[in-house]
């Protein structure tokens, strides 16, 4: 994400991109490299134990980013009222920390982007990284709804859009190329994960599935009603198993409480009888329980 900031931001150092694929697109680089004001915030550290703590951390992050643009205080393209509004964003209290009022914090990204757009007479690119971290921590600490409202307001008020087809190419084509490369890397790992079921390698199943969950899902995927959570994890497993061309994959028609309970349910309800009637010779029994981004697996 920071690389995007360095590419688009006014005053970009072109030397950072020498030798990279993007540098070969000379016309595009000449036209867009270093031509945009960029706001970049990472929410990785917004992990307070309470809503007030998290809000205070967010205030510091946005205040610090806003402080990069202190030339706005001297800009002739914004009004005195707007300069005063900006000064409130970067104002420090007696403890030398940023102390934005709640109302200002709520629309701080919108305000900052509007001021930069007026100063530069150019659309502003807003990059937000690790936006799921504060939601994950809020979910664990009991203030999820309040934090969701704050983050949603922050994201919703800013005009987050790819301004034209050339920049869309950078985001889409280059990122898609990266994704394809990562997908090729994942093929071997995915096959190893699926084959672990055939070799009864419980530790490899746990390790592979947990790694996949940590890499792909967020707290919003599992922050739903209990019955929906189980369907969500079922869907992930079905998708992973669907990669195996020589497998027949059918949806789980039953639910359970924990991996040990699932194993007992398999035995009590004789699920294997249907498989035997269908001609299956080798049958493996697994109980898989998931909690957020972790899983536990037993076999028997």
CA atoms within 13 A on the CB side of 183: 8
pLDDT (0 to 100) of residue 161: 47
Predicted structure pTM score: 0.55
Q: What are 146-191's pLDDT values in tens digits?
A: 887 787 776 655 444 445 555 555 555 554 555 455 545 666 777 8
- Residue 189 to residue 202: CA distance in whole angstroms: 15
Residue-wise burial string across 263-291, b where 16 or more C-beta atoms lie within 10 A, e elsewhere: beebeeeeeeeeeeeeeeeeeeebbbbbe
Asked if the model's pLDDT at residue 282 lies above 90, the reply is no
Residue 109 has pLDDT above 60, yes or no: yes
pLDDT at residue 195, rounded to an integer: 86
- Give the whole-number percent of the chain exceeding pLDDT 70: 77
Identify the helix (H) or strand (E) that includes residue 146. helix 144-157
Average pLDDT value for residue range 22-33? 84
Higher pLDDT, 228 or 298: 298
Q: Three-state SS for 85?
A: helix
Pairwise pLDDT comparison (29 vs 228), residue with the higher score: 29
Query: Above 70 in pLDDT, residue 31?
Result: yes
Model pLDDT for residues 80-96, shown as the tens digit of each residue: 999 999 999 999 999 89
Where is mean pLDDT largest: 47-61, 152-166, 201-215?
Answer: 47-61
- pLDDT band at residue 226 using 50, 70 and 90 as cut-offs: low
> What is the helix (H) or strand (E) element at residue 232, kind and residue range?
helix 226-241
Cβ pair 128, 155 in contact under 8 A: yes
Report how far residue 115's alpha carbon sits from residue 126's, in angstroms, rounded to the nearest whole number: 13
What distance in Å separates the CA atoms of residue 161 and residue 178, rounded to the nearest whole number?
Answer: 21
């Amino acid at each position: 994400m920071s690389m995007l900031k360095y590419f688009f931001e006014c005053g970009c150092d072109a030397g950072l991109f020498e030798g990279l694929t993007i540098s070969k697109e000379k016309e595009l680089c000449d036209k867009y490299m270093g031509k945009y004001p960029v706001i970049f915030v990472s929410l990785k550290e917004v992990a307070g134990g309470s809503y007030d703590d998290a809000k205070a951390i967010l205030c510091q992050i946005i205040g610090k980013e806003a402080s990069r643009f202190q030339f706005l205080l001297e800009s002739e393209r914004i009004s005195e009222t707007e300069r005063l509004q900006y000064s409130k964003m970067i104002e420090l209290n007696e403890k030398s920390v940023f102390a934005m009022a709640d109302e200002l914090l709520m629309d701080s990204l919108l305000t900052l982007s509007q001021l930069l757009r007026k100063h530069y007479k150019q659309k502003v690119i807003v990059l937000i990284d690790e936006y799921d971290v504060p939601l994950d921590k809020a979910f664990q600490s009991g203030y999820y709804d309040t934090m969701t409202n704050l983050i949603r307001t922050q994201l919703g008020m800013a005009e987050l859009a790819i301004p034209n087809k050339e920049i869309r190419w950078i985001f889409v084509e280059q990122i898609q190329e990266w994704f394809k490369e990562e997908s090729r890397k994942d093929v071997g790992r995915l096959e190893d994960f699926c084959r672990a079921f055939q070799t009864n390698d419980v530790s490899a199943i746990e390790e592979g599935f947990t790694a996949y969950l940590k890499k792909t899902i967020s707290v919003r995927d599992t922050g739903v009603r209990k019955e929906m959570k189980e369907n969500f994890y079922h869907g992930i497993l079905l998708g992973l198993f669907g990669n195996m061309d020589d497998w027949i994959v059918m949806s789980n028609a039953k639910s359970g409480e924990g991996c040990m309970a699932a194993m007992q349910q398999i035995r009590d309800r004789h699920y294997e009888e249907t498989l035997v009637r269908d001609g299956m010779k080798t049958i493996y029994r697994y109980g898989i329980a998931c909690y957020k981004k972790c899983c536990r697996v037993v076999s028997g």
